[in-house]
């Protein structure tokens, strides 16, 4: 499985990462060799094998609908790079996602 530079750029954009052209080259080659290695999973016959999302067969963990103390506004903002008016300030979002 060869991964192209364009694919690396697309994935970088999905992951909100930015790379120099040289880094893109390096990643394209490293990711290609890793993906080539994982191709070996294709050797296995997986008919009837269910995926494992949780390793133990446990289900249903709940909490009751009861208010518990949280953080103060000061605590919530103590690590914020740009706190303002009790909020986190960010650059304006352009409509759309």
Partner 1 sequence: MSSELTLKKGHELRALLDGGEVSSVEVARAFLDRIDEIDSKINAFLTVTADLALEQAEAADKRIREGRVKPLTGIPVGLKDLLVTKGVRTTCASRILENFIPPYDGTVVAKLREAGAVFPGKLNMDEFAMGSSNENSAFGPVKNPWDLERVPGGSSGGSAASVAACEVPLALGSDTGGSIREPASFCGIVGVKPTYGRVSRYGLIAFASSLDQIGPMTRDVKDAALVLDAICGHDPKDSTSIMKEATDFAGALSGDIKGVRIGVPKEYFVEGLDPEIERAVKDAIAKLEELGAEVKEVSLPHTEYAVAVYYLLATAEASSNLARFDSVRYTTRVDGSDLIDTYKKTRAAGFGEEVKRRIMLGTYALSAGYYDAYYRRAQRVRTLIARDFAEAFKEVDVICSPTVASVAFKHGEKTSDPLEMYLSDIFTIPLNLAGLPGLSLPCGFSGEGMPIGLQMMAGPFREEVLLKTAYAFEEATDFSRVPGL
Partner 2 sequence: MKWELVVGLEVHAQLLTDTKIFCGCSTSFGAPPNTHVCPVCLGLPGALPVLNRKVVDFAIKVGLATNCTVARMSRFARKNYFYPDLPKGYQISQFELPILEHGYLGVLDDGGAPKDIGITRIHMEEDAGKLVHPETPGADYSHVDLNRACVPLLEIVSEPDIRSTGEALQYVKKLREILVYLGVCDGNMNEGSMRIDANISVRPEGQEEFGTRAEIKNVNSFKSLEQAIIYEQNRQIDLIEDGGKVVQETRLFDADRGITLGMRSKEEAHDYRYFPDPDLLPLVIEDEWVEAARDTLPELPDAKRSRFRSQYSLPDHDADLLCQSIDMADFFEEIVTLHDDPKAASNWIMGYVLRDMSKDELHSVKDAPITPSHIAGMLDLIKAGVISSKIAKDVFDAMWATGKEAKVIVEEKGLTQISDTSEIEGIVDEVLAANPDEVAGYRGGKTKLMGFFVGQVMKASRGKANPGLVNQLLKSKLEG
Those residues with Cβ within 8 angstroms of residue 39's Cβ, 6 or more apart along the chain or in another chain: 1
**Binding of residue 70 to partner 2 (CB under 8 A):** yes
Tokens of 35: 């993906």
Tokens of 84: 């303002």
Least spacing, CB of residue 28 vs partner 1, in Å: 10
**Binding of residue 29 to partner 1 (CB under 8 A):** no
**Binding of residue 5 to partner 2 (CB under 8 A):** no
Determine the longest span between alpha carbons in the chain, in angstroms: 58
Judged by beta carbon, residue 40 or residue 92, the one nearer partner 2 is 92
Those residues with Cβ within 8 angstroms of residue 73's Cβ, 6 or more apart along the chain or in another chain: 86
Residues found near partner 1 in the complex (CB under 8 A): 3, 7-8, 11-12, 14-19, 27, 30-31, 33-35, 37-38, 40-42, 44, 46, 49-56, 58, 61, 63, 71, 75-76, 78-82, 88, 90-94
């Amino acid at each position: 499985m060869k991964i192209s530079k364009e694919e690396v750029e697309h994935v970088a954009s999905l992951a909100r990462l930015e790379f120099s052209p040289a880094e893109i080259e390096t990643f394209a080659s490293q990711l290609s060799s890793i993906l080539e290695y994982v191709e070996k999973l294709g050797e296995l016959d997986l008919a009837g094998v269910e995926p494992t999302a949780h390793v133990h067969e446990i289900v249903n963990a709940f909490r009751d609908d009861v208010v518990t103390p949280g953080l103060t506004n000061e605590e919530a903002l103590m690590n914020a790079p740009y706190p303002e008016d009790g909020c986190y300030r960010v650059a304006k979002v352009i409509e759309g996602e």
